[in-house]
Amino acid sequence: MPVHVVGNVCVDTTFRVDRFPQPGETFNARSHMDGVGGKGANQAVAAARTGADVRFFAAVGTDPAAAFIRERLKNEFDLRQLSAKPLPSDRSTILVNQDGENLIVSGIDCAADFDPLRETGLLNLIAHGDILVMQGNLKSTVTNACLRAAKAASATTILNPSPLSGEALDLAAVDVVIVNQGEAFETTGKPDPEDAARDLVRRGAKAAIVTLGAAGCLLLEDGAVDLIPAVKVAVVDTSGAGDIFCGCLAGCLMKGWRLAQSARTAVAAAALAVGRRGTLEACPSRVELEKLMNTVEAESL
């Protein structure tokens, strides 16, 4: 059964800088490189590398950036569900400072125009037992329609509503909502992650996960809280950690694993990613994820 990842893909240009610039300031980066990113693509790659059968639904332009994206993703999963639009492909500029923190700005013409229910075969492809994974890059009306269509087809839905748009998302159509600590506060107004998770469940989500950076994550399921500690690692670049977490979690759930066991694996996968440079480049390989999943499975016996 497939994991349908519906969202965005873009060309990421990452600049490594000594510090973040002040308004109006110009200075040179230490290095820069292009790669493929976008929360949708990152999560799709992470899910595919767990061994899941991933279908990726996103929009690209018809420009050289689109060709770059297709070339980089062609060995990860089937690209037939990519929509080609007469628009510039989406792009992100990422600044990473010496502490591994990041600042990101994105151009999202394709994602803003993308309607997978109208433009792709999603509605006919999604079925009972499948998993739908979405993020916050598409219009909220589009995201809500996809989530509701997936629930109507008896699929499991995972929503990582990042970046937050301020518009209401239908948590009643969400089985697992995943937010980081800042998003948890912004969405619920509750500074305490457990209070925030309870609020997200009160709003309709079946289960809620608040990722806590170097502190791991908090899982709220069936009224019970599980605090899953992070794996200690020397931080190189945290960008994309949340996406590796979400994609890996979806892949583990597709194997029929319990949510807590899936979250434990996702925490370990994300730790591998923060120890490396880049976003997608930092995603653990298929071999690494297989080893990690075997270890978690053995520990839980």
* Residues in the annotated binding site for ATP: 180, 211-216, 242-243
Residue stretches of the annotated binding site for K(+)? 237, 239, 273, 276, 278
Pair of tokens at residue 80: 């037939």
Stretch that binds ligand ATP, among 28-36, 49-57, 165-173, 240-248 (CB under 6 A): 240-248
Distance between CA atoms of 277 and 37, rounded to whole angstroms?
Answer: 13
Phi, psi (rounded to 5 degrees) for 41: -65, -45
Q: C-beta of 244: minimal distance to ligand ATP in Å?
A: 7
Interface residues for ligand ATP in 74-103 (CB under 6 A)? none
Question: Is 192 noted as a catalytic residue in this protein?
Answer: no
Whether 64 contacts 91, CB under 8 Å: no
- Is residue 212 part of the contact set for ligand ATP (CB under 6 A)? yes
> Which residue, among 10, 161, 136, 7, has the nearest Cα to 73 in the 3D structure?
10
| Beta strands 10-16; 91-96: pairing state | parallel
219: β partners: 209, 226
Using DSSP, state whether 4 is helix, strand or coil.
strand
Interface residues for ligand ATP in 166-185 (CB under 6 A)? 180
Measured in whole angstroms, the distance separating CA 300 from the mean position of its chain's CA atoms is 25
- Is residue 241 part of the contact set for ligand ATP (CB under 6 A)? yes
105: β partners: 93
- Is residue 161 part of the contact set for ligand ATP (CB under 6 A)? no
8, 137, 143, 239: which one binds ligand ATP (CB under 6 A): 239
- Is residue 10 part of the contact set for ligand ATP (CB under 6 A)? no
Distance between CA atoms of 42 and 30, rounded to whole angstroms?
Answer: 25
Write down the residue that tokens 């700005």 correspond to.
Answer: 105
Stretch that binds ligand ATP, among 30-38, 63-71, 163-171, 225-233 (CB under 6 A): 225-233
40, 61, 161, 240: which one binds ligand ATP (CB under 6 A): 240
> Which residue, among 45, 97, 99, 100, has the nearest Cα to 72 in the 3D structure?
45
Q: C-beta of 211: minimal distance to ligand ATP in Å?
A: 3
Task: Tell me whether residue 126 or residue 271 sits nearer to ligand ATP (CB atom).
Answer: 271
- Is residue 233 part of the contact set for ligand ATP (CB under 6 A)? yes
Which amino acid is located at 109 in the chain? Answer: D
- Is residue 218 part of the contact set for ligand ATP (CB under 6 A)? no
Catalytic residues: 243
User: What residue ranges bind ligand ATP (CB under 6 A)?
Assistant: 180, 211-214, 216-217, 230-231, 233, 235, 238-243, 245, 267, 270-271, 274
